[in-house]
Amino acid sequence: MKNKKKAFWNQALLSGPYLLWMGLFILIPLFIVLYYGLTDGSGAFTLENVKKISEPIYMRSLLLSLKLSLYSTLICLLIAYPLAMVLRSLHLKNQNLIVMVFILPMWINFLLRTIAWLTILENNGVLNSFLRLLGFQGLSIINTPAAIVVGMVYDFLPFMILPVYNSLAKIDDNLVAASKDLGANSLQTFRRVILPLSLPGIISGITMVFIPSLTTFAISQILGGGKQNLIGNFIEQQFLLYYDWNAGSGLSLVLMIFILISMAFVAKFDKKQEGTNLW
Amino acid sequence: MRKKLLFAALLTLLCILSFGCQSKKEKLYVYNWGEYIDPEVLEAFEEEYDIEVVYSTFDSNEEMYAKLHSGTATYDVICPSDYMINRMAQEGLLQELNKDNLPNLENIGAEYMTSSQNFDPGNKYSVPYCWGTVGILYNKTMVEGEITSWGVLFDETYKGQILMIDSVRDAYMVALTYLGYSQNTTNRDEIQEATELLHSQSSLVQAYVVDQVRDKMVGNEAAIGVIYSGEAIYTQRSNSDLVYVVPEEGSNVWIDSWVIPKDAKNVSAAEKWIDYMCRPEVALKNFDYITYSTPNAAAKELITDEDIKNSLIAFPDEATLARCETFQYLGEENEHYYLDEWAKVK
């Protein structure tokens, strides 16, 4: 009994700093957003700010945001999964090294990485100069939704690779061997054994890419040429141009609904498995 | 035990370091546009007065105002533009300057003090720092003939070759001036007409940009761009094919000036800062670095490069200036109306 009590206090002490951090910088700000989102300038309760999303301009940008984040998530998955399969099959001893290779681009500030893509994708940029050198016609990608998807994929790909790789690396080789022993071919083994076991990693990767893609405003600003306004850009404008914290928070709440949905999605799949989160 | 001791020692060290580094030097909080000062000038000021300058930057007047409005930060000296100074003065956010502490103010050309009266009657709150016009920058190898009108920005032949300015009032200034209306209009029909024009333009526009226009024009990414005159001089240094013109329909002339907000904590240092910026040699050094026109008459006299001194971009002639207007603050309701309309454009 005494030991149990001690363990409790030890736990509280160890998790204390993080809980404090979470309270101060996650929970309280969330409540502030909730408060502003559901009140008007005078502090009275209203749903007007949230309803603002139904205006055609905002609705269109929300749909565009959803579409582009869906594309970028899908592309990330299509790149990350085969890569993670290959890495798993290599059975490398030094896993830390692999992890580091993936994190390496993240050491560079994400705005700088995005601006680098600007110089690559521009009409007279690196990519087009190279294509023309080879005798091809240049591509006009910059300032289109495609450019934004490229930026999203590049910026958020590590968030997909790591959880997927983690979940794949955990799968016991004996399970694969057993599946083959019992007469399953490679495809069946993949479908019946590997894929289901890696599902938590996939799900966690999907949310890790989908949520930041959905909420980004910097990538669309830089690579979209100011022509593709995502919902994030409009929220930014509410704060910076209209000084309307209420409307900005209201629109943020709408985004939060989508974030909650995707989190519920994760919780559902992650229930039986131990968490396969990013780190 | 030893580990615990080591940990405690480290913690103490960390505390000492983090607190010890806070010097007791006098501090001055400056809030200025990005890329709007020669860093050496800043250092020289710090050294001469033994004041630590805490320097932050903003990208637009609106961003600056939002930050000030939220009350999360206080600054001692800020450099907003004309219409924003107008607004801040109206809302009682600024304090009157004590001219006795600004002896170098006499270096500022009289004409700029007069223009300032448009937004700061009596020159009570502001000291001009930089000024300029808005115009068209074009690449003479990519367009036919000379450009003289805003009309090219709405011309089908330049589809995909146009860089439009991503700033509400500036964009509406272009459209309203082209349509023959005042850039300070509050007439809803006129504004709506401008919205339609800008909306029809959006399919021709390659990108809506502010700062990026510089690099894109230098890199031959587009043929035509809307740009501030100060940026134009900078781009011409890197790409001699670029030509700047203030269109015949007229344009906007703007002045960015130093102001001291009402809640400034270190007014005396702010005055020293403003006065320092008015010194001819300091103004000249800044002009060389940021290439935005200086209202400092004494500094202009010191310019040795005759080309720059006589440059019509840096110092437009009176006929050009006569075509130009300054922005005025139109009140919250009208400003929001412009924003709502602007959201429909893109």
User: Could you give the ipTM of this predicted complex?
Assistant: 0.79
Pairwise CA distance, residues A253 & A49, whole Å = 9
φ, ψ at A109 (rounded to 5°) = -55, 140
CATH number where B68 lies: 3.40.190.10
Mean pLDDT, to the nearest integer, of A22-27? Answer: 92
Position A132 pLDDT exceeds 70: yes
Q: Please check whether residue B3 lies inside any domain of the structure.
A: no
The answer to whether residue B155 is domain-embedded is: yes
Query: Cα–Cα distance between A205 and A276 in angstroms, integer?
Result: 9
| A32-78 confidence digits (pLDDT tens) | 999 999 999 888 999 999 999 999 999 999 999 999 999 999 999 99
Task: Please check whether residues B101 and B136 belong to one and the same domain.
Answer: no
* Residues B216 and B329 grouped into a single domain: yes
Residue B319 lies in a domain: no
Confidence of residue A273 (pLDDT cuts 50, 70, 90): low
Q: What is the pLDDT of residues A144-192, one digit of tens each?
A: 999 999 999 999 999 999 899 989 988 888 998 999 899 989 889 989 9
Indicate if the pLDDT at residue A118 is higher than 60. yes
Interface of B with A in 192-221 (CB under 8 A): 202, 205-209, 212, 216, 219-221
Domain that holds residue B239: 132-253+325-345
The answer to whether residues B304 and B329 belong to one domain is: no
Residue B18 is predicted with a pLDDT of 55
Q: Are B62 and B114 members of one domain?
A: yes
Distance CA B276, CA A98 (A): 55
A88-92, B227-231, B289-293: least confidently modelled range: A88-92
User: What mean pLDDT value characterizes chain A?
Assistant: 88
Closest residue in A to B162 (Cα–Cα): A225
The architecture (CATH level 2) of A38-270 comes to Orthogonal Bundle (1.10)
B241, B220: one domain: yes
Contacts of A243 in chain B (CB under 8 A): 65-66, 69
Share of chain B above pLDDT 70, in %: 93
Does residue B4 lie within any of the structural domains? no
pLDDT of residue B136: 97
Q: What length is written for chain B? A: 346
Contact map slice: B 232-291 vs A, CB within 8 A = none
- CB B207 to CB A227 under 8 A? yes
Q: What are the pLDDT digits (tens) for B8-46?
A: 555 555 555 555 455 578 999 999 998 899 999 999 999
Q: Is residue B15 part of a domain?
A: no
Q: Once rounded to an integer, what is the mean pLDDT over residues B266-279?
A: 97
- Collapse the DSSP code of A164 into the 3-class scheme (helix H, G, I; strand E, B; otherwise coil) and give the result: helix
Mean of the per-residue pLDDT values for chain B?
A: 91
Q: Which residues of A touch B216 (CB under 8 A)?
A: 122
Q: Give strand ranges (E) for B280-331.
A: 324-325
Burial A96-133 (b: 16+ CB within 10 A, else e): eebbeebeeeeeeebeeebbebbebbbbebebbeeeee
Query: Could you tell me the pLDDT band of residue A276, with boundaries at 50, 70 and 90?
Result: very low
Give the type of residue at A217: F
Of A124, A225, A239, the CB nearest to B66: A239
CB contact, 8 Å: A1 with chain B?
no
Total of domains in chain B: 2
Q: Which of B1 and B90 is assigned the larger pLDDT?
A: B90
Grade residue A279 by pLDDT with cuts at 50, 70 and 90: very low
Instruction: Give the mean model confidence (pLDDT) for residues B121-137.
Output: 96
DSSP state of A275: P
Specify whether B292 is located in the same domain as B259: yes
Kindly state whether residues B96 and B117 are assigned to the same domain. Answer: yes
